[in-house]
A and B are shown apart, each in its own frame.
Chain A
Amino acid sequence: MLDPTPTGLHSGGTPLLQTVGLTKRYGNFLANEAIDIDIWPQQIHALLGENGAGKSTLVKTIYGLIQPSEGEMRWQGEKMVLSGPSEARARGIGMVFQHFSLFDNLTVAENVALGLDGKESFKDMSARLEEVSNVYGLPLDPKREVWQLSVGERQRIEIVRVLMQNPKFLILDEPTAVLTPQEADQLFIVLDRLKAEGRAILYISHKLEEVKRLCDTATILRGGKKVSTCNPQQETAASLARMMVGADIKEVKAAAGRKTTVPRLVVNDLNMEPDDPHGVRLANISLELKGGEILGIAGVAGNGQDELFAALSGERQCPDPGTIVIDGHAAGHLSITLRRKLGAAFVPEERLGHGTAPRMKLSENALLTGHAASGMVQHGFVNTAATLSTVDRATETFDVRKAKRDPEAASLSGGNLQKFIVGREILRNPAVLVVSQPTWGVDAGAAAVIRQALLDLAASGAAVLVTSQDLDELAEITDRIAVMFHGHLSQPMATAEATREKLGLLMGGSSLEQKEAPHAVSA
């Protein structure tokens, strides 16, 4: 382990890593513009910013994956030029990726071996792997293949792989995005320990409360530039958010006196085998959703949310029609189009490829979900005026920003495309809206617009089902919350009673009745 260097207040000495005027240019676009950051040993340094603020570009540059256009990096006071990640690793820089850089069909040990620079034998490496994972309390079975492991275990591989290089400096890119609150707490214990050992950590996150709790310094990026470096413990979540966005975020307001009416979406004992080997089997799922109500489904990704969406939308059908009832009509056996005709609308998680055809125009994408029920097709011919007017209405109502009237879907930013997709469905005045991860990877401004639109839709009498991994989002807009775990859905509880602890337990697979087993370590 490293000597803990007593730097404390960083009054003297040189920082471990410094970037000086670091700039990355793609054509005319400046992904990073003159960024100066100092990182000291024994520091957990947060890197904050919205999507597209330049965080990923910056850390990829520090890890040697991207060459800077201008500026330089200094490592322990000396100029550092990295031709690739292996040079970064050789100096003691390690990185845990947001989208794990793992190989599903290889074993844990093989995955770890690929992240090291192979000077020791496979056997020695395996032994050291076991040692490191025990020392830090990150248990792993080296012989299992990655596809068999949970998300939490996969992240452990990434972390252990980095720790085996005995790094002086670790970069973690949104490490808690996929973890339950309890798993995140365990991670924080490991990070505090690494800090105490004298290592420096650069911590990227969207979760401001987490940053306030864990980090001693924060650097905020906006539009590729550094806005400020501050002590997050002396800021509020609102003041950090303001620096990230550059403006106050409008607060989302629920309409007063929303009334619930008749059940509009009912699921009766839904069971479904997965259609691919990595899938999750849905077991005994029942729920009832009234008009005017928003039901949230929480859960760690990969616990059956995608399969549930496919079953509700009709991408997969059930043999028994009565399993899914839309507005009083048995719909389990119906296709997507017939379900849409009953007044249902669907917004899948993936915007490009599932929600829209990326290379088709917005008007054509409007037609793709609207053809069944909105007069866009007459006698087999497309009514171009009608499709274009849908685009115009969505643009106006939901503030979609785009370069021209009818661009390709792929040319819009994530937030604007999501506003368009949600808008396209809401404009059809659906009786039931099923939406998955409505604001995933969307900037804060667009997220507020989308959440408000969902609240307004419920206020108009529709039933809304929202699947999300963002507990804050669910707390903000839902009336009731249920949790998915291993294909089972918990009893919904009123949002006011759904504390993070309760949700966390359910997300980790414990039932609330058995309090004696708070959190299964095996995750």
Chain B
Amino acid sequence: MALFEAIILSVLAASTPLLIAAIGELVTERAGVLNLGVEGMMIMGAACGFGGAWLSGSVIVGALCGIVAGTLMSLIFALMTLGLAVNQVATGLALTILGIGLSGLIGAGFVGERITPAPHLYIPGLTDIPFAGRILFGEDGFIYLSLALVIGVWLFLYRTQAGLILRAAGDNHVSAHALGYPVLRIRMFAVMFGGACAGLAGAYLPLAYTPFFIPGMTAGRGWIALALVVFASWRPGRLVIGAYLFGAVTILQLHTQALGLGIPSQFMSALPYLATVIVLVLISRARTGGSTAPAALGTVFVPDR
């Protein structure tokens, strides 16, 4: 039982950065922008988040630093792809390379330092309930925040006028423009939200997951978050399922190695991507019509004035 509880706790912790980064990217992509720089924005969030927390001694300040770093990175992306109409794929890849290098430089001074990680919730009585208590009422704040974010995004996209306009901009930017909506401004905000989430997701790693910073510690989680958005077919609800599934695979990978089952760890690391490919095939086979991806995804828009 204790082992099972430990596994669930570690799955939740491993899934949360994926969920936070992916929900941000989902909003960005729903507005029609494909930002492949998630990995770069995350690692910047990790470096700046750790730096902030280490210098101030506060996890919250660290998290805010991570958010700011991710947002600033996304603004570079927005300037290039929205302002200057540069190709989104190339810019996103460049952003990742930039983020990995820059975060190594910024974080060089903190390598080897430790901080006190984010505290876990403790409600006397509730948290003490065996098994379920720790899992439901004993997590760190980030985990609750990530679920609140998903619910908030769902409400925004499907229950508000602004969310409808954002989806419209991602479906057909020419029409949205013709109706008088500021497509580029909408997309800029969506990109910034994506950046903020990626930064927060990155900051989660040194602030809650492991209490220290090492260069490249995101270790491909940004790419998994990107795959996750496709896996979830751009829907927030499915994103939660996908995130916990992908998180579980990550943990499973560690346990199979420990148990010496002889499954190569490389195969396990490849599983999330394999699952995404399979889901893509299933979606396109099952689809009766309409498109699941935002129709304008990845296309450059230049308004004529």
Contacts and interface: CB of A to CB of B under 8 A. Distances in A.
Q: Do A and B bind each other?
A: yes
A101 B164 contact: no
Interface string B173-214: 011111111000000000000000000000000000000000
Given A104-B291, A145-B290, A277-B290, A65 B178 contact: yes
A118 B160 CA distance: 11
A110 B178 contact: no
A85 interface: yes
B43 interface: no
Contacts of B287: 277
A147 interface: yes
A105 B175 contact: no
B36 interface: no
**Which range holds the interface residue count of chain A?**
20 to 34
Interface residues of B, number: 24
B18 interface: no
Contacts of A145: 290
A86 B180 contact: yes
B221 interface: no
B268 interface: no
B266 interface: no
A278 to B, nearest CB: 6
Given A103-B172, A104-B295, A118-B161, A147 B289 contact: yes
B289 A277 contact: yes
B171 interface: yes
A102 interface: yes
Contacts of B295: 104-105
B289 A101 contact: no
Contacts of B161: 113, 118
Contact of A101 (B165, B178, B290, B294): B178
A102 B295 CA distance: 12
A97 interface: yes
B180 A84 contact: yes
A106 interface: yes
A115 B180 CA distance: 9
Of A105, A115, A145, A278, chain B has the most CB atoms within 10 Å of the CB of A105
A124 to B, nearest CB: 13
Interface in B144-166: 161, 164-165
Binding site secondary structure of chain A: loop
Contacts of A114: 164-165, 168, 176, 179, 181
Nearest to B287: A277
Contacts of A104: 171-172, 290-291, 295
Contacts of A278: 289
Contact of B305 (A67, A102, A118, A148): A67
A66 interface: yes
Nearest to A110: B164
Contacts of A148: 289-290
Contact of B171 (A65, A99, A100, A105): A105
Interface in B282-300: 287-291, 294-295
Nearest to A277: B289
B25 to A, nearest CB: 19
Contact of A103 (B171, B289, B304): B171
B175 A106 contact: no
B134 interface: no
A64 interface: yes
Given A86-B180, A114-B165, A100 B175 contact: yes
Given A105-B291, A110-B164, A66 B172 contact: no
A444 B116 CA distance: 77
Nearest to A115: B179
A110 B172 CA distance: 13
Contacts of B291: 104-105, 147, 277
Given A100-B175, A103-B168, A106-B168, A64 B289 contact: no
Contacts of B174: 99, 101
Given A104-B295, A106-B167, A97 B178 contact: yes
Interface string A89-132: 10000000101111111100010011100100000000000000
Interface string A246-288: 0000000000000000000000000000000110000000000
A10 to B, nearest CB: 31
Interface string B51-78: 0000000000000000000000000000
A66 B171 contact: no
A125 to B, nearest CB: 11
Nearest to A84: B180
Contacts of B289: 147-148, 277-278
A89 B178 CA distance: 12
B153 to A, nearest CB: 18
Interface in A61-78: 64-67
A423 B176 CA distance: 38
Contacts of A99: 174
Contact of A85 (B164, B178, B294): B178
A97 B179 CA distance: 10
B272 to A, nearest CB: 26
Contacts of B305: 66-67
B225 to A, nearest CB: 23
Interface in B112-170: 161, 164-165, 167-168
Interface in A49-68: 64-67
Interface in A7-23: none
Nearest to B159: A122
Interface string A185-219: 00000000000000000000000000000000000
Contacts of A66: 304-305
Contacts of B180: 64-65, 84-86, 89
A64 B181 CA distance: 12
Interface in B231-287: 287
A105 B178 contact: no
A118 to B, nearest CB: 5
Contacts of A105: 167, 171, 290-291, 294-295
Sorted nearest first, the 6 A-B pairs with minimum C-beta distance are A85-B180, A101-B175, A103-B171, A277-B289, A101-B178, A84-B180
Given A105-B171, A110-B164, 5 more contacts: A101-B172, A104-B295, A105-B291, A106-B167, A115-B179
27 contacts: A64-B180, A65-B177, A65-B180, A66-B304, A85-B179, A99-B174, A101-B172, A101-B175, A101-B176, A101-B178, A103-B168, A103-B172, A104-B171, A105-B171, A105-B291, A105-B294, A105-B295, A110-B168, A113-B161, A113-B164, A114-B164, A114-B168, A114-B179, A114-B181, A277-B288, A277-B290, A277-B291
Interface of A: 64-67, 84-86, 89, 97, 99-106, 110, 113-115, 118, 145, 147-148, 277-278
Interface of B: 161, 164-165, 167-168, 171-172, 174-181, 287-291, 294-295, 304-305
